[in-house]
Amino acid sequence: MNLDWNAKDYSNGFSFVHEYGEDVMSLITAPKGSFVVDLGCGNGALTAKLVQKGFYVLGIDASAAMLAEARKNHPELSFKEADAISFQLEEPADVIFSNAVFHWIDEDKQYLLLRNIAANLRLGGQLVTEFGGIGCGAKVHGMLAQKFAEYGYDYQPIQFFPSIGEYTPLVDQAGLRVDYAILFDRPTPQPKGYSVADWIRMFIQQPFEGMPEEMKERIIQETEEELASDLCQDGTWIIDYVRIRLRAVKVEQ
Examine residue 164 and state whether it is found in any structural domain, yes or no. yes
CATH code assigned at 78: 3.40.50.150
Examine residue 195 and state whether it is found in any structural domain, yes or no. no
Examine residue 129 and state whether it is found in any structural domain, yes or no. yes
Examine residue 147 and state whether it is found in any structural domain, yes or no. no
With beta carbons less than 8 A apart as the criterion, state whether 122 and 175 touch.
no
Examine residue 68 and state whether it is found in any structural domain, yes or no. yes
Angle at the Cα of 201 (from 195 to 204), degrees rounded to 5?
Answer: 115
For residue 209, count CB atoms less than 10 angstroms from its CB and return exposed for 0-12, middle for 13-18, buried for 19 or more: exposed
> d(Cα 144, Cα 158) in Å, to the nearest integer?
13
Structure confidence by residue, pLDDT tens digits, 221-237: 999 999 999 999 999 99
* Per-residue pLDDT, 175: 97
Domain residues for 54? 7-135+160-190+239-250
Task: Kindly state the average pLDDT of the residues 136-141.
Answer: 98
Report whether pLDDT(191) > 70: yes
* Structural domains in the chain (count): 1
Examine residue 131 and state whether it is found in any structural domain, yes or no. yes
Examine residue 221 and state whether it is found in any structural domain, yes or no. no
CA distances from 84 to 106, 154, 252 (A): 12, 29, 22
Split at pLDDT 50, 70, 90, the class of 4 is: low
Examine residue 85 and state whether it is found in any structural domain, yes or no. yes
* Per-residue pLDDT, 253: 78
Query: Percentage of the chain with pLDDT > 90?
Result: 89
